[in-house]
Structure formats: structure tokens, C-alpha cells
């Protein structure tokens, strides 16, 4: 069931879902600005570890200011257990879908996209954040060939308390570094 309203946003439709939540397309009630509104599932909101991880994702993204990282607008709690945040809505396709639909990317575009991804990761590292789930489906490619990094759900904030038990696996196995795997 799609909610009618979350925070300051009227909800238009569901645009995605993953392990840490569902994302809806929303429209700000006063300004009309479109946003992607991510909601932590109620089942996960009852577990402190998931709430802490979701909160960490919000704080990590708020700390980042870079044209290649999706910007967070607001966050909050609706009722007792609907944790959400609203972020920049980026029109485009996940890089994974682009590759699947179009095949190989030209070497010139690979270099351009790689530089943009590195700029996003540098901004994250400068803010004390390791993304930990860098993969094509977490990169949005816009029509004007700009890359946007999103989904900081498993990010590690330097010097923060660990939310993953020792030996626990976080991220997507196919895209993990050997030492992480």
C-alpha cells in the first residue's frame, strides 16, 4: 500500500525498494519540488540496529555536498515507527540498467564516469564516510551523462561505533574488494 503523505511530501508512486527501505516519488506540499522519499520498513523500524543504520545513512548523506552525490532535503519520523528522509530526485537510469540495455560503454565515457565517481567518493571520504556498497545499481546516469551516487545504507562513518558485528558481511558480494570479502 502506497502512503498518501510522508513528512512534507505527497506521495505519487513507488519508484524502488531494497534491503533498507522503499523509495517513493514525492512532491513537496508547499513548494511543489519533487523528491525521492525513502522509508524504513516498519518491521525493521522495530529493531534498534536497523534504525541506527538508517539514521547513520541520513547523517552520512547530510554531511556530503557534491554534485555527484544525491542531496538530502529533510528527514523525520511519522507516527511511532515510520522513519523517512527526502532526497534529491534524479531523473535517469541506474548505470547497471544502462549497461544491460546498451551494452559496452565507450572508453571515453568510462573515463568520464570514473572521474565523476571518484569525485563523489572523495567527497564522501573527506566527510569521513566509506560507502561500502559501490556498484552500478547505486549510480544513476542522467540524460546529460552526469553520475549521481546514492544509497549510503551500509556506509561506515570513520570513528563511529560499529553497527556490524565482527565477521559480519555488509555490501554486495560481487562488488566487494577482496580484503572485505
Query: pTM here?
Result: 0.78
Model pLDDT, residue 167: 46
Give the fold, CATH level 3, of 5-88.
Phosphorylase Kinase; domain 1 (3.30.200)
The x, y and z cell numbers of residue 108, run together, are 571515453
Across the 181 residues of the chain, what is the mean pLDDT of every consecutive 10-residue run? 92 86 94 93 76 76 88 86 89 95 96 97 86 84 94 56 46 56 51
Give the domain ranges of the chain: 5-88, 93-175
Kindly report the number of other CB atoms within 10 A of residue 117's CB atom: 17
Model pLDDT, residue 152: 65
Model pLDDT, residue 174: 61
Q: Which CATH number fits the domain 93-175, given the four candidates 1.10.510.10, 3.30.565.10, 3.30.930.10, 3.40.50.300?
A: 1.10.510.10
Provide the Cα torsion 9, 10, 16, 19; round to 10°.
Answer: 60
- Provide the annotated active-site residues: 143
Amino acid at each position: 500500500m502506497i502512503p498518501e503523505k510522508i513528512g512534507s511530501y505527497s506521495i505519487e508512486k513507488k519508484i524502488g525498494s531494497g534491503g533498507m527501505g522503499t523509495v517513493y516519488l514525492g512532491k513537496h506540499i508547499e513548494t511543489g519540488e519533487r523528491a525521492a522519499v525513502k522509508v524504513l520498513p516498519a518491521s525493521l523500524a522495530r529493531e534498534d540496529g536497523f534504525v541506527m543504520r538508517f539514521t547513520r545513512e541520513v547523517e552520512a548523506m547530510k554531511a556530503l555536498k557534491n554534485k555527484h552525490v544525491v542531496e538530502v532535503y529533510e528527514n523525520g519520523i511519522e507516527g511511532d515507527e515510520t522513519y523517512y528522509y527526502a532526497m534529491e530526485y534524479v531523473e535517469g537510469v541506474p548505470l547497471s540498467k544502462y549497461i544491460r540495455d546498451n551494452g559496452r560503454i565507450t572508453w571515453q565515457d568510462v573515463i568520464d564516469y570514473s572521474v565523476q565517481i571518484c569525485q563523489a567518493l572523495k567527497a564522501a571520504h573527506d566527510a569521513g564516510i566509506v560507502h561500502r556498497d559501490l556498484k552500478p545499481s547505486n549510480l544513476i546516469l542522467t540524460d546529460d551523462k552526469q553520475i549521481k551516487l546514492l544509497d549510503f545504507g551500509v556506509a561506515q562513518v570513520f570513528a563511529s561505533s560499529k553497527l556490524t558485528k565482527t565477521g559480519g558481511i555488509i555490501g554486495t558480494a560481487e562488488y566487494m574488494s577482496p580484503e572485505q570479502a
